[in-house]
Each structure stands twice: as C-alpha cells, then as structure tokens.
Structure 1
C-alpha cells in the first residue's frame, strides 16, 4: 500500500514538473465537426468593460436586435437560453441563441438583421456604454468572437476576445467627444478538415472565430436593408438625436449627424432607427490545429514569460536567504542551547549525587570543621545556581508556559479549520489548472470546481478545527462544528448577498439570480454543514487533542518588556512584507487578468504553482523565525501571533489592491468601486486564512520539536 502511494505521488509530481511553466490546453472529450451546408449556431453572451465591474446580458440591451424566436439549426430557437453551470452563472454569463445565420461553406456578403427602434433614453444608455468601452462576447463552437491583431514585429497574429460595441471620436471643430455605434459585423469563420474518418468524409472543424466591426450611418444608400457598398462608407452611425424633436426620425431624414451638448434634451418618446446588418465568410486555415486553436488568444501574453521567470528568480532568492537564516537557527543556536541545557542538567545531577554522598567521617568532628564544610557546600551551591541561571535563559524559561491555551481559542480553532478547507481548495485548483484539466474551453469550470472543492473540503475543516479546539480544552465539539461551518461561509455569503442588492438595482447580469442564491444556500446547509460536523466528530472523539511534550504550570510567568519590532502589529507587518515580495510580480499578472483584461484569460498556472510552492516555504520560514525571536524575548503568547504573522502579507496585498485601483484602473461609478473593494477584501481574507493556517501549523510543529528535544518536565 505504501509503495503504491509513493508511486502515485511520484507520478503526480512528475506530471506537474513536465507541465513546467505553461498550462497547456487540453481539448474537450470530443471534437465537434460540421458537414457542408450544416448550420452552426452563433450564441450571444454578454457585454463587459474594463472600466466597470457591471456586465449586462446582450439581449437585455434595448438598442440591439431582439431575438425573433425562429428555428435555427440543431433544433435551437432564436432567443433560447443555453443551460449554464454554476461557474458560468456566478461570473455573469447569460448565453442565448441568436438570429445570425452561419451555414458551413456559404459566404454572405451582407444580410439584414433588423431595424431597431430606439428612444432617446435608450440612445443615452448606448452612448454611456460606448463611452465606458464595453466589449461584446459572441460564441461559435465554444470559441469567443475575437478581434484580430498582429504582433509588433508583424510575424504572428493573435486574438483579443470580444469586439467593441462602438468607438469614440472627437469633433475637429469643437474638440468634443462623439460616440459611434458599430452596427455592421463581418464574421470570419476559419476552419480545417476534421481529423480521422470524419475529415475523409468532408467534415470540418472550427479553428477560429473573428469579428470585424463597422459603423454605417443612415445616409448610406441601402438595398433590402443592406448598404449597397460596404467598402465606401459615407459617414458612421453617431449616437445622436437632434434636440426638441417630437416626431420619429427615419433613415432618410437623419442625414445630418453631429454631437452637441443638447443631445439629451427633448421628448423621451422621440425615436431613432438603428439598422443592423452582418456578413459571413468561411476561410480554410490549415496552419491551426484544432487542439491548439486557443493558442492565438495567448500569443500576445507569451511576451510576459521573461517577467514570470524574473518573478520566480526573485522569489527563489528571498526564499534561499530565509532558508539560510532558519538553518542557522536550527543548526547552531538551538542545537547549542539544547546541548548546553542537557550538559547543565547532567552536571547538576552529578553535583547533587556528590552532595548526597558527603557525610561526616566521625561524629566527634569539631564544630569548626563542620562549619568549614558547610561554608564550602554553600559556596558550591551558589556557584552552581548561577551557572544554571546563566544557562536557562530566553526560550528555555518558557517550558512550563509555552503550551498555555490562548485567549479566544474557541475562535482560533474555527479559523484554522476554515484555513485548511481553503488550502485544500486552492491546492486542488492550482494542480488541476497546471496539468490542463481546467482550461479556457471549460467555460466556468474554474469557479465550479472551486465551489465543489470548497464544499467537500468541509470534512478537513471540521477535523482540524475539532483537534485544535480540544487541544485548547474545548468541551462541546458540536458548538465548535457549528461555528466552523458558519463563520467564514456565513461572512462570504453575507457580503455577496449585500453586493447583490446593489447589482440588482443596476439590472446587471453580474447579479446572481434568486434561484442560484437558494442553490448556494442548499449546498452550504445540506452538504457542507453535515460534512463539517462529520469531520469534527471524528477529530474530537476518535483522534482527540494533540499531546504536548511539556507540562503547563498553574501560575503564568510574567512577560518582560518587549522590543518594538516584537510587538504584535509591528511584527505582523514586518514579517508579512517578506511573503508579499515573493508574490507581488505574479500578483500583477493576476490583477491584470481579473480587473484590466477581463476579455483575456489567465493561463500560466504552471508559473503560479511554482510561485505558490515558494510562497508556502517562505511563509513557514518567516513564521518560524518570528516566533523564535518572540520566544527568545520570553513571550509565550505565540498561538494567535503565529496565525497573524502567517497571514500578515494579506494586509500588504490589500494595500496593493488600493494602489492598483487608483493608479492602474479607471473604474467609474459607486457600485463598480464597491464591487472592486469588496471582492478584493474577500480575496485577501481567503489568502490570509490560507497563509495564517500555514503559519500556525508550522509554528506548532516547530515548538513541539523544540521543547520535545530538551525534555523538560
């Protein structure tokens, strides 16, 4: 059994090393191929912006063509919603079938979609969304519609997911901004022959989905709703309605479009018609393999590989220096202290035996000789006591207080349990992503897997929480299990629910549907809480408390005045700065992916896994050094201190988030800013619980080995 487990671990580590610093794309279970003349459904999802955290379902926009409900290929109806997993719902996806007709092998120079009648209020909203730089996400064969670019050296093409809803220009005469809507979309589907027998029969697979946009004004001549010439465009479609108009503005009488400050004045019932058209082209491309089709979305990000390696080298240098300090403490200071302590104990024992063996040679000894011998014995005793006092200093004086239970231990135990739960979830996510199981083609898979791992890791949460709780002489494991199951998940759900109220008011797809909230509550109460209770019962009754190598005295010793750098807040901030320097470069890429480039995908989980391993080692070493310095100052309050020192870098991560918000981002609006700071706070709490638990367990292991080595009762 042990050999099998060892072989499995070696295989797991080898797989992670082979993946190195790249998260390779692993194709899905089956390749979807299409025959000539077969319909390919085009799905519309949402619009999003890097300048705001509010997303909107595409068909919820009042100025786009609504679905007609007509039947499309594969038995899908236009406007039919596609079933989503939990991760897709949580990230704001709302995928619906569109009316765009994509038939394999059939190019369409222009197809008319609709004339959408828009009020002045709807036009104002369209203008605001264009101003905020909103991007549209369409999907074909699980590929997001992309805007195509070329690298600086013009040797490679790469994709940026999504395409612009519109664009902003400035008036040459007034210098004021003018906003234009992209109302024509040129769709390019790149394909190649399907592998295997399907390809021999003429089937094709999609390897690229590109969307090119145009803004075509109403003064262009049209035939059957389409412009007569898509190459020579006379004016773009400006989001402008002349003020004080009470009649409908048709295509023919709106030839003069320009922006003025009076755009929003006038009757709200005034209307304007926006024509929507599209073109479709199928192009064969044998240069792209189907299982490498996502690589084009990452070509531009490959330039950051050098920075990733720089981050790893920086982290290794810091970790190496800390390792040297820890080895010096363990090999020289502590071993020398323990050796001196044992030698001192041995000498005390010999001296005691020597004193016991002394006896008067004759009962007739004179009084002067007895007094002289007593004086000699007194001199020996005093000198031996002084040596013992000199020997027993610093951390060795705390052997009877080091395992004294802390204040608020009933709160520390659930926090450690929640930290183990999050640690299991994080390690699982990083591992699955590094070996390619969670990849961009699995839409919403990262969040879904995270929720699943978190819920089922409740067993570990209850187990560790119960053992720590019983170590602190806790009596009611049921009460501790309830606190563990509700403390962090309850805080998380409460914050999300409050945020949801603000987002609901904005009618954003970021808001969680009521049914999803109920499903999350059921997962929490019906699955996680019983698992936490089960783990708590086993940890409390079957395994019990951890045994300590020393006994605790009834009266605590007095703690001397502490140096400024050992005090709680100062040591937490100073020690937390070191793990932050290990991760801050990689943190920049994570922040860019989450907040600045939401159309992109964070894919370098190989790098992240390496940095995570270095972070774990660094947190453990920093905690050991900090706790040892504290013990040398005769301060035995290390339980909470080790947890807070381990999680101290979370404070620096949150401060980095604040700096990133004001320097790097251009988020506007109260709700968007609230979302940013609350999500950042939640992420820092998760990170702090993770690293705090690592610090706590490392410090406990270190102290047990330290005081177990001297065996002082």
Structure 2
C-alpha cells in the first residue's frame, strides 16, 4: 500500500511539474504571424510601482503624449480602447492603441512623437511618480515591453516586465536626489519565421519585445524634433522648473539644479515647460527563441527558486507524515482499544444484570440514564444485597465515551455556521478549479486577466455547492426554513467581500487610479451575484434540504446537557486554535514567501509555479484535516462536547498566523508609502485571510464531523 502511494505521489509530482514547464501556451492558441511591411499595433496600458498599490492608466498621465486619433495599418485608431475581460478590468488594466508606428522589417533610427507642454503641477506629478519608482507597461503581440538583463554569471539573458518611467540621481555636492524623465524609447522587436505554412509564405512571429529608455534634455540640437545625438547625451531631462523660468538662463538653471528642489513649489502654476518625446524602432531576427517558449525569458531569473520550492514540498511532507503517524496511532491503538473495552464492559454489565434477574425471579430495577450518560442501577438489589460493585465492569468508560448522549447536541448559532460551511465549500471548489486550470496551462501569463476572470466565474457557479452543503448542515441542526438559510448563504460572505471592495473603491476613486473598479463593472458584478449566484444557491439548498435531507447521527441526544469540566489551558478555545493553526502555517510558509513576493513586492513578475502550489495545497488540506482530528479528539477526551464551532475555527486557525505574517511583511519587507496604499494592503490581506480561513475551516469542520460520526457509530451496542 505504501509503495503504491509513493508511486502515485511521484507520478503526481512529475505530471504537475511537467505541466508547469509547458503551462504558458497550448499549441494552436492565439499565434499571430505578420508579413513584411505589415503594421504591428503597440498598445499602452498603465504605470505601476512595487512601492504602492495605486496604478494609473498611461494616457491619464498629464505629461505624456496624448493620442492623436490617426489610423494605423492595422485599422485601429490611436487612442482607441481595447475591449477587456473582467479580470483585466479588476487588475487595473486600461489598454489603448498608441501613435507609435511599428512596421515589420522597417528600422527607424528616430521618430518624433510630440512636444508635450506641461504645467508646474504636472511636472510635480511626474516627479512624484518617478520618486515612487513607477514603471510603464506597453504591449506588443500580447507581450509586455521588457527591460533586458543578464544573469550573474552572464550566461543567460532574462526579462523584467515593464520599463522605468524615470530615475533618480544623487549629487555628490548636496547628497539630495534629482529626478529625470525618460522621454526617448528605443524599441527592439525580436522575431523569427512563423511555424508551418505561414513561415513558408514569409510570415514572422514576435518572440521578444524590449524597451530601452533614455532621458534627453530639451536644449540639445534637434533635427525634425529628434535629438541629433542619441548615444552621447550631454544633458538629461530633469523634472525641475525654477521659480521664474522665463528669466533663467541655461547657466542659472544649472545653478538652481544644484540646490534643493524645495523652491520648485514656488512660482505661478500657469508656468509651462515643453517635454519632447521620440522613439526608435529596430527589428532583429532571433531564431534562438521558440514562439511557444517566448515567455520563458520572463522567468529565467526565478528558476533558482525551484530548489526552494522543492524544500517547501519536503518540509510539508515531513510535517504531514508526522501528523499522519499520530492520527494512525490514535485510530489503530487508542481508539480501537477504547472501543473494544467499551463493548466488552457493556456486554459484561448485561450478563451480570441478566444473572441477578434470573436469581431473584423478579423484574430488574428500573434503569435510568444519568447526566453522565451511563446506565446506573439502584444502590441495592431487591434481595437487599449491595450491588454497587456490579458497575465495576464499566469503570473504564471515561473520556470521550461519556459524551455519546451530548456529542451531537446542536451548537449555538448553528444558523450562522451552516452558511459559513456552505461558503467554504464554494471557495474550495473554486480553488480546486483554479489550481487545476493553472497547473495544466489554461490560465497562464499570456491570458491576461484570466486568473481573476476564472475566479469570479468559478465562484459564481460554485454557488450550487454552497447551497447544497449549507442546507444539509442546516437541516442537521434541525433547521426548518431553508429559504432563509439559502438567502443568508448567498449574501453573507459575498456581501462582506462586496462591501469591503466598494468602500475601498471610494478611496481609490478619489486618487483617480485605474486600480478603482469602474461603476459599470460593479453593477455587472452585482448582477452576476444576484442574477446567477443567488438562484444557484437556492437550487442547491432546495436539493440538499428537501431531496437529500439531514445527516443521520449514530447516537441519540439526551434532553439534559451534561456539565463540561474545567479544561486544561492548551485545550481552551483560543489557545487550541492558535497552537493547532501554527502547524498548517509551517506547511505553507516557504511557498507563502513566493506568493507574497509575486503579489506585493514584484508586481512586474508573474507567479507561475502552480505545479508546486498544487502539491503544497494537497498537503495543506491533509494537514488541516489531521490537525483538526487530533485536536478535536483531545477535546472530547477532556469531556468537552462543544466541538462544532471549535473544529471550524481550528481548521481555519492558520489564517490568523498568515495575517500576522502579512503585518510583518509590510513592516520589514515592503516600502509602501501613503495611507490609501497601506489601507489597500491590509484590507486585501484581510480578505485573502478570510477566504483562506473559510476554506480550511470548512475542511476542518467536515473532517471532524466525519471522524466523530465514525467514532461514535463504532461504540453503538446493539
């Protein structure tokens, strides 16, 4: 059996890693070839920074060249918005066609784009964005414009998505920063012959899109708007406007630049300065890159992390194996021995009573159930003999066996627990679908916004599972109004998420950021929620409540609840939740580093190792289930039957540790500035922890419920 499990695990790991390697393209999908002289549209998207959570649409910036509306060879008008999927809108994309002309095979040393006249206020805005480290995202043939680097050993080239809006330089005399704007872009399009018949007809496919930036001052010699010299630039374009621009000579300007820029805030806001923009285009054939491997360059610098991913899997397997050993020991030795002793004691007690009845010739005394759930007899038999020692056969019936009349007593606020379990199952099915689609390559970096779109779609359609499981748990708690339960299930958790997102939007809208969800998209989400998810939850609730019914319990519940004795400190609610939650957190801790880095610290990159993530997720689910079983068993042995809510909180306890980890990550790893960005970080972290806690809490609850039903079903004596 162990050999089979080992073989299966090795096969699963191999297949998932293989899927990860080939997860960026499915053959035949979205390949586009171009002929010589054909126009390739260059799309501009947004600017973003690793130091803030606010993004801005590129053409919303007041200091860049606005679109002119001219027609390109592709039939698109510059400034024309490209239709986006739901995920792209939610991630802040605003994709628009640009004026930059890319014609296959035609190199352009320099093309003048525009002279953009900006005010002092606009210039200060540009300086703030450069200071925060914003980078620009352009798109050609679905590839983001990249900055090219080489590895430390200079053996391989790799890409970092995006290019810098500007840069800072520190003067040696003052030690204070001076900020410069990149206003010339050198675009390098790498191509190769298209595969198949398109290549035979001269078709070419894009395999690389690189952007190199320069900052060129406005006072140099220019020819038709372009700088005369692109290689040896004497003066860079500094984001600085002196208090009285019109009276300053070039020498005075340099003297101003040597001082602190505090005086830039002084002066008339109507003062203007002209920013010249230009670009160069070069097409270079590169047969070393296959079209279906062109995204690999964006991940070369991350391949060294594969060893750490393997370390995470080994760490998770060791912890899971130790827990499995503990659970097997409990099931195979302790519980089996307890059940055997309980049944033998019950049978012995029955034989003793039957013998006394036959000897006395009288009907045995009335048997009553005490508050401890045991069968007690009178202190003396009818013949006057002391028979208190007759119950010695049951003296070993202690701990969890005493709770058979109370363990399935319905919990307080069960009408809230049922909807939470239903929402947890909804999130579980959504997560399984996302990991599976990502591991096999359908959700990949080339499918921009696909992950978020699939998340919303799977969450909406998984509402039927939410309603089903919520209704069954609700009916098990003797609930009667399944319509009310269905409404609570459909609105409780989605309503919390929508309320948080809407309140965040109020702050982000005030910042004019593309991170804000448009009002029309919010309306669409509400329609999806109320028009599709709520009916699906109702259908699932009806089927689970009416057609399937409640889960049957193996023991009956006494009318009078027993008193719970004093509990040890480590069994008390909060202590057990924190202690038990620490174990699943250690399972995912290493992989969590990569997830956090991808989400918060390196937004120009992509999280792509879904093969590793799927394996760690499976181990996580097993760990949560085993931790919950062990913790609940210890609680039952302490004669505490309040396990319903406790199992749910124990399963989701690691969410507390993840949120604490996010606070540490914010304080020591990130450099986020500004109230709105900090609020976005903490609210998004809270929402993610709620999703994780609901999911793992549901796993813990259902595992504990199945374990307890099996446990108390085994001691039922016929």
Q: TM-score range by the shorter chain?
A: over 0.9
CA distance in 1, matches of 2:95, 2:548: 49
413, 419, 422: which one aligns with 1:417: 422
Do the aligned partners of 2:13 and 2:615 also contact (CA within 8 Å) in 1?
Answer: no
Q: CA deviation at 1:347?
A: 1.1
Q: Deviations over 1:92-135 (max 9, x none)?
A: 00000000000000000000000000100000000000000000
Q: CA deviation at 1:357?
A: 2.6
Instruction: Report the Cα distance in structure 1 between the residues aligned to 2:566 and 2:402, rounded to whole angstroms.
Output: 15
Where do 4+ consecutive residues of structure 1 move more than 4 Å?
12-18, 20-23, 249-257, 373-377
Counterpart secondary structure, 1:711 = coil
2:373 is aligned to none
Q: Which residue matches 1:398?
A: 403
Give the counterpart of 1:426 among 427, 431, 446: 431
The answer (yes or no) to whether the contact 2:621–2:696 under 8 Å persists in 1 is: yes
Partner of 1:283: 284
**Alignment partner of 1:460 out of 457, 462, 465:** 465
Matching residue of 2:577: 572
Partner residue, 2:4? none
Whole-Å Cα distance in 1 between the matches of residues 392 and 415 of structure 2? 42
Question: In structure 2, which of residues 613, 620, 631 is the aligned counterpart of residue 615 of structure 1?
Answer: 620
Q: CA deviation at 1:220?
A: 1.9
How far the C-alpha of 1:352 sits from its partner, in A, is 2.0
Partner residue in 1 for 2:713:
708
CA contact (8 A) 2:39 2:104 kept: yes
| 3-state DSSP of counterpart to 1:74 | coil
2:382 & 2:478 partners in 1: Cα distance? 49
Matches of 1:34 and 1:245, distance apart in 2: 48
Q: Among 573, 587, 595, which residue is 2:592 paired with? A: 587
1:69-148 matched pairs, under 5 angstroms: 69-148=69-148
Distance (Å, rounded) in 2 between the aligned partners of 1:22 and 1:348? 65
Number of the residue aligned with 2:324 = 323
Equivalent residue, structure 2, for 1:192: 192
**In 2: Cα distance, 1:608 partner to 1:679 partner:** 20
- 1:369 match: none
1:526 aligns with 2:527: no
Match of 2:692 in 1: 687
Deviation at 1:348, TM superposition (A): 1.3
Whether the 8 Å contact between 1:219 and 1:234 is mirrored in structure 2 is: no
- Give the equivalent residue in structure 2 for 1:561: 566
Q: Give the alignment's TM-score, normalised by structure 1.
A: 0.94
Matches within 5 A, 1:484-563: 484-563=489-568
* Structure 1 counterpart of 2:3: none
Deviations 1:642-682 (Å, cap 9, x if unpaired)?
A: 00000000000000000000000000000000000000000
Contact 1:110 1:277 in 2 (8 A): yes
Stretches of structure 2 that go unaligned for 5 or more consecutive residues are: 1-7, 362-379
Unmatched 5+ stretches in structure 1: 1-8, 361-372
| 1:275 positional shift | 0.4
Closer/same/farther in 2, CA of residues 270 and 374 from structure 1, 3 Å limit: closer
Alpha-carbon shift at residue 172 of structure 1 (Å):
1.8
Shift of 1:356: 2.4
8 A contact 1:41–1:101 mirrored in 2: yes
From 381, 385, 397, the equivalent of 2:391 is 385
SS in 1 for 2:694: helix
Given the alignment, which residue of 634, 644, 666 partners 2:671?
666
Alpha-carbon distance change, 214 to 418 in structure 1, aligned in 2, over 3 angstroms: same
Contact 1:338 1:709 in 2 (8 A): yes
1:4 matched to which residue of 2?
A: none
Q: 1:629 aligns with which of 627, 634, 639?
A: 634
Aligned to 2:257: 258
Q: 1-side partners of 2:211 and 2:251: how far apart?
A: 28
- Given that 2:346 and 2:393 are in contact with CA atoms closer than 8 Å, whether structure 1 keeps it comes out as no
Contact between 1:22 and 1:434, CA under 8 Å: does it hold in 2?
Answer: no
Aligned to 2:346: 345
2:19 & 2:240 partners in 1: Cα distance? 53
Shift in CA distance, 251/506, structure 1 to aligned 2, threshold 3 Å:
farther
Alignment of 1:196-345 (within 5 A): 196-245=196-245, 258=257, 260=260, 261-345=262-346
In structure 2, C-alpha distance between the alignment counterparts of 1:539 and 1:425, rounded to whole Å: 20
Tell me which residue corresponds to 1:154: 154
* Separation in structure 2 between the aligned mates of residue 562 and residue 199 of structure 1, nearest angstrom: 76
After superposition, the Cα gap between the structure-2 partners of 1:21 and 1:332, relative to the gap in structure 1 and judged at 3 Å, is: farther
Question: Closer, same or farther in 2 for the Cα pair 1:250/1:209, shift >3 Å?
Answer: farther
Contact 1:245-1:267 within 8 A present in 2 as well: no
The offset of 1:81, in angstroms, is 0.1
Aligned mates of 2:694, 2:521 — CA distance in 1: 26
> Can you list the C-alpha shifts for 1:129-184, whole angstroms capped at 9, x where unaligned?
00000000000000000000000011100000000000000112111110000000
CA RMSD of aligned residues (A): 2.1
Contact preservation (8 Å) 1:21, 1:605: yes
Alpha-carbon shift at residue 21 of structure 1 (Å): 5.8
Look up the SS of the partner of 2:608 in the other structure: coil
Offset of residue 386 of structure 1 = 2.7
CA distance in 2 between partners of 1:228 and 1:142 (Å): 33
* Native 8 Å contact 1:23 1:606 kept in 2: no
Alpha-carbon shift at residue 244 of structure 1 (Å)? 3.1
Aligned to 2:374: none
Deviation at 1:73, TM superposition (A): 2.0
1:603 corresponding residue in structure 2 = 608
Q: Distance in 1 between matches of 2:574 and 2:24?
A: 44
